[in-house]
Structure 1
Amino acid sequence: MTAHRVVHRDGVRLHYVVQEPPGDGAPLGTVVLLHGFPHFWFTWHRMIPVLAEAGWRVIAPDLRGMGHSDAPAEVTAYAPREVVDDVLAVCDDAGADRVVLVGFDFGAGVAYDTCHLEPGRVRAVIGMENPFMGTAGSVSPLEGSAAMAEKHFLHLHYFAQPGVAEADLAGREREFLTRVFWALSADYHYLDVWQHPPGTTYLEALPQAPPLPWAWLSVEEMDIYEVEYARTGFAGPLQWYRAMDVSWAARKGFERQTNPVPFYFLYSEHDPDLEGFHGREPLAKLGRYHDDVRQVRSVPRAGHLMHLEATEDTHRELLACLADIARSPVDASPS
């Protein structure tokens, strides 16, 4: 059974859930699932019992700004050191030492930052969709996004403007969530939103979505998303976008260092991130960012939300990575 817990770190309330494997034997290890936007711990609700049944202890935090964790108002509060310390605080509270990190979307950045800043706490890392966090060049993410947004709509720039998205989306949480989930899926080509001109709102740029349920998402699941985001609003979650320059500048401190932790990567066939946000042939560049690339596995017929769109395939590929990790010596930690 999933248990909900809270830990406080430097005045910030951090909520997480944990599920133990069945039986009395020792778990194979601890897996920490790190979500992105617009999500919270619930995005993993199908995966958590599967990993626990396979013998792993599972922890799924709400990243700061989202879900039932606090949402600091300052963008500097979302810097890599802060969110990595959140992960460590959750792990310490749960009694987990060296963990396997699974990172999706913004959560992948948190996972990779943890590997750089605290490699001794990470047994292995599994990235989903986002293969690395680049810091190359002299143009910051927000500056680059603003330049692109002069040519066409770009969600990064739209979200980066304080107060704009919050006002547009207030009271329209379900409409936004439904349409953005559909647009990010394999049922739509997400980069088509770039065909809209500058000044377009996100709701104007997103396609109309068919009525729920879909083959991969139920009405009841969307109900839970709607209730959560209607409760919290979008101001906290969007701080992750507004802090992109803060994170970029902090990552400059280790931009010439590769991730020393064993690395596994899962990607989907129709992921818009890989298509539009990581340069040309991103999979060919993994060795530039990760010392020890163990496995690269694909999930067919899925877009960005692979764990929802192709749940069984994603679970199968993730469990294959975890099986390989379980066979590796636990004490082979990077320094």
Structure 2
Amino acid sequence: MNIPSQGGTAEVSHRFVQTNGIQMHIAEQGEGPLVVLLHGFPETSHSWRHQFAALAAAGYHVVAPDQRGYGRTDRPEAVEHYSQLHLVGDIIGLLDALGEEQAVLVGHDWGSQVAWNTALLRPDRVRGVVALGLPYFPRGPMSAVAGMTHALGPGFYMNYLQQPGVADAELARDPRASVLRLFQWGFGDSPHAEAATLPMVPEGGTLSDILPEAGALPAWLTEADLDVYAEAFARTGFTGGLNWWRTMDLSWELTAPWQGAPMTTPALYVYGERDGSVQLPGLDQLIANLQYLVPNLTRTVVLPGVGHWTQQEGPEEVNAELLKFLGAL
């Protein structure tokens, strides 16, 4: 099945595959070793529009799924069906559906966590990991949301997202404005990308209290790009993506058998200089110690002037780092 291509790239084709009990929409281009691109929130496979042609031209089969709960991929109703074990299972099932034993996984935002966890749980299926934005988080004595709440208090935005239906309804009132406001919250030139700005929802407040007003589009985002995202979330709502946060405690419980397991996969870590997510408490120590946590980490790259939307804001720099890493495997 073919759907109009992303970003005007005619060579990108679209189809559906069955994986882990769901139907998954994928965009793909090229032939060769498999590279799977895993998006974050609030994104879809469209966030990789600048990577398809560059990687395909270099001799790779590039596949970007809409992950569980997003875009044209199925959205299971039960919240517990969004745990990291389910999300990792989706990627393993995707490799099976494509007839591939292994792939390099490139993840951004939440997609980075899926990439890391797939390498942790199934290192036999992962040739390499490229994480954009978020470093490897080894399982700790408490879940990440519990740890951040302990450090920052109940106003930390993850707690607001835990409430069923609340953020969902708020964001769905105007999907286009919501996506734009989320993008404007974290891009490099935005005044809201300052490192000192922690995402704290005031008591009795909402996300609207901490998101910037929807203004002019950043230079890296066109009206057509925003239309793609707005149409997707107008059709699906935001619940599928928000359910990833709502299973953080569950995922922490389910991954207890991998406590202390080594992360052995070759890896590359890339983040933006102005990405506020890496300024959260404890992340500076994680990044400083990443070589010890990921012994086969080839390098850590900081992109000047880039915010949270790494591959969209700095596509040429990201593509160059991807090709360098892939070529060395």
Length-normalised TM-score, structure 1: 0.88
Alpha-carbon distance in structure 2 between the residues aligned to 1:77 and 1:14: 15
Residue in 2 aligned with 1:24?
none
Q: Report the secondary structure of 2:231's partner residue.
A: helix
Residue in 2 aligned with 1:14?
24
For structure 1, the 5+ residue unaligned runs are: 22-26, 326-335
Q: Is the 8 A contact 1:18 1:57 kept in 2?
A: yes
Residue in 1 aligned with 2:172?
170
Residue in 2 aligned with 1:100?
104
Q: Superposition pairs for residues 236-275 of structure 1, below 5 Å? A: 236-275=240-279
For structure 2, the 5+ residue unaligned runs are: 1-10
CA-based RMSD: 2.0
Residue in 2 aligned with 1:182?
184
Matched, 1:74 2:78: yes
Cα deviation, residue 144, structure 1: 4.3
Q: Deviations over 1:64-109 (max 9, x none)?
A: 1111111112232122222112112212222222111111111111
Length-normalised TM-score, structure 2: 0.89
Alpha-carbon distance in structure 2 between the residues aligned to 1:284 and 1:143: 22
Q: Is the 8 A contact 2:184 2:192 kept in 1?
A: no
Cα deviation, residue 151, structure 1: 5.6
Q: Is the 8 A contact 1:193 1:206 kept in 2?
A: no
Cα deviation, residue 194, structure 1: 3.7
Alpha-carbon distance in structure 2 between the residues aligned to 1:278 and 1:13: 37
* Cα pair distance change 1:162/1:195, threshold 3 Å: closer
Residue in 1 aligned with 2:315?
311
Return 188-197 or 155-164, whichever deviates more: 188-197
Q: Write the letter of the residue equivalent to 1:12.
A: I
Residue in 1 aligned with 2:211?
206
Q: Deviations over 1:157-177 (max 9, x none)?
A: 111110101121223111111
Cα deviation, residue 250, structure 1: 2.2
* Cα pair distance change 1:307/1:75, threshold 3 Å: same
Alpha-carbon distance in structure 2 between the residues aligned to 1:166 and 1:144: 24
Matched, 1:292 2:291: no
Share of identical aligned residues, percent? 33
Cα deviation, residue 210, structure 1: 2.6
Q: How many residues align?
A: 316
Q: Is the 8 A contact 2:139 2:260 kept in 1?
A: no
Q: Deviations over 1:97-140 (max 9, x none)?
A: 21111111111111111111111111111111111123212x43
Matched, 1:140 2:153: no
Alpha-carbon distance in structure 2 between the residues aligned to 1:195 and 1:317: 33
Alpha-carbon distance in structure 1 between the residues aligned to 2:281 and 2:78: 26
Q: Is the 8 A contact 1:149 1:198 kept in 2?
A: no
Cα deviation, residue 234, structure 1: 0.8
Q: Write the letter of the residue equivalent to 2:117.
A: D
Q: Is the 8 A contact 1:142 1:160 kept in 2?
A: no
Alpha-carbon distance in structure 1 between the residues aligned to 2:108 and 2:128: 15
Q: Deviations over 1:216-267 (max 9, x none)?
A: 1111100111000000001111110101111112233212012111111111
Return 224-233 or 103-112, whichever deviates more: 103-112
Matched, 1:5 2:5: no
Residue in 1 aligned with 2:202?
197
Alpha-carbon distance in structure 2 between the residues aligned to 1:123 and 1:51: 16
Q: Write the letter of the residue equivalent to 2:304.
A: P
* Cα pair distance change 1:76/1:39, threshold 3 Å: same
Alpha-carbon distance in structure 2 between the residues aligned to 1:11 and 1:256: 30
Q: Is the 8 A contact 1:78 1:239 kept in 2?
A: yes
Give the alignment partner of residue 34 of structure 1, picking from 31, 38, 45. Answer: 38
Matched, 1:45 2:49: yes
Cα deviation, residue 17, structure 1: 1.6
Q: Report the secondary structure of 1:124's partner residue.
A: strand
Cα deviation, residue 10, structure 1: 4.7
